[in-house]
Amino acid sequence: MPILVAPPLAPFISSDLGLNQTLTGALTTLPILMLAIGAMPGSLAISRLGPRNTLVLAMVVMAMGSAARGLAPEIVTLLTASAVMGLGIAMMQPALPALLPRWLPPHHVAMGTAIYMNGMLMGEFVGAGITLPLLVPLLENSWRLTLLAWSLPALLVAAALFLPKRDLARPTERAAWLPDWSNPLTLKLGLLLGLSASMFFGLNAYMGNLLAQTGHFDKLSQALFCYNIAQVFASLMMLKMARQWVGRRSMITVTAVISVAGTTGAIALEGWWAIASATLMSFVAGILLILLVALPPLLARPGETGRLSAGTFLVGYTLAFTIPMLGGVVSDMTGDVRHSILVMIAYSVLVLPLIRTLDLKPARAESSGS
């Protein structure tokens, strides 16, 4: 929720604090950059505190950073708070896959991934889809109160994580936490995650400018609603199909190709047809995201899951930040926002062949409690 509440609130924040286009975009892209930077602290915390305690710490840091944005008196404080919030979210990312082998037998890991990704994608929809039509009017059109309100659920989740008594202890041995760059999966999964994430976050960030350029800015609220709820439906489908689809190369290929096609349609078409094409991309990219995030606990030994996930997120979210930003530079040079989307499409086409080289053999678990 905290990341994707920024696009609908951007006009209010920009008007109040006098942000230019670059700083307004940074409200969304800076936390995404922190998803990459914070992957390593998350992996280190897992090796020292354990995944459960790391997840609790991450939720508290995220809530404090998100709430601080609503109290920020000026631009520097606002961006600093956004960075802190992104760090908390980043620490969550490797902690969740690392918990799955502890909580679930191997044949339920794919379903476990689909369940927690359903929650994360539901948060994206809630943040981006219902903020403007529901929450902002209830809070007297105050972007500050809206940011504070969306920060509270994280504290409730952090408290609830202490209810079960299992897995609260710190690790007895200090496991490796740096990504294993000699493992080709680390880079390959990261590059493919960059495909999914850069198109989803990038099109989200440029949706308003794209619709304005084609004379359909009045459709922005509906477009963001459809675009983000599509990923919720994707996660619901994966609750049903996770066991059959996770680990299958053909499904990764099909969803990646359709994602590229949907993004292309978003700039080749106009009006509702463009929105429909973007929504298709969001739906399929949501499935692709879950297919990729589910692979580390499936392909790595339990003790290695955290560092493989951290390396994947480090690469993937670095690209999710840099590719859309590079696209923005290109579109500023040409004056055509569609060129920013073309940069994302070009990157995606370049990494598609990596799917054929993935080694998708499941790892043998050494012990269920490692």
Task: Write the pLDDT tens digit of every residue in 88-135.
Answer: 988 888 888 888 877 788 788 888 888 888 888 888 778 777 888 888
Mean pLDDT, range 143-170, rounded to an integer: 82
- Express each pLDDT in 208-267 by its tens digit: 888 888 898 888 878 988 898 898 899 899 988 988 998 899 999 999 999 999 999 999
State phi, psi for 307 to the nearest 5 degrees.
-75, -35
Kindly indicate the confidence band of residue 367, based on its pLDDT and cuts at 50, 70 and 90.
Answer: very low
Q: Residue 249 is encoded by which pair of tokens?
A: 């190369």
- Report the interhelical angle of 143-160 vs 6-17 (nearest 10°): 140
Torsion sign over Cα 189, 193, 194, 199 = positive
Q: How far apart are CA 154 and CA 88, in angstroms?
A: 11
Per-residue H/E/C for the chain: CCCCCHHHHHHHHHHHHCCCHHHHHHHHHHHHHHHHHCHHHHHHHHHHHCHHHHHHHHHHHHHHHHHHHHHCCCHHHHHHHHHHHHHHHHHHHHHHHHHHHHHCCHHHHHHHHHHHHHHHHHHHHHHHHCHHHHHHHHCCCCHHHHHHHHHHHHHHHHHHCCCCCCCCCCCCCCCCCCCCCCCHHHHHHHHHHHHHHHHHHHHHHHHHHHHHHCCCHHHHHHHHHHHHHHHHHHHHHHHHHHHHHCCCHHHHHHHHHHHHHHHHHHHHCCHHHHHHHHHHHHHHHHHHHHHHHCHHHHHCCHHHHHHHHHHHHHHHHHHHHHHHHHHHHHHHHHCCCHHHHHHHHHHHHHHHHHHHHCCCCCCCCCCCCC
Q: How far apart are CA 30 and CA 1, in angstroms?
A: 15
Q: How many CB atoms lie within 10 A of CB 356?
A: 9
N- to C-terminal Cα separation, the chain: 32
Closest CA to 99 of 359, 296, 316, 289: 296
Q: Kindly list the domain boundaries of the chain, sorted by start residue.
A: 6-157+180-357
Separation of CA 274 from chain center: 23
pTM: 0.79
Quote the pLDDT of residue 351: 96
Q: Is pLDDT of 359 > 70?
A: yes
Contact 302, 101 (CB under 8 A): yes
Mean pLDDT, range 298-320, rounded to an integer: 83
The burial class, CB within 10 Å (0-12 / 13-18 / 19+), for 46 is buried
Quote the pLDDT of residue 167: 58
Please report, to the nearest 10 degrees, the dihedral formed by the alpha carbons of residues 291, 296, 299, 304 taken in order.
180
Fold for the domain defined by 6-157+180-357: Growth Hormone; Chain: A; (1.20.1250)
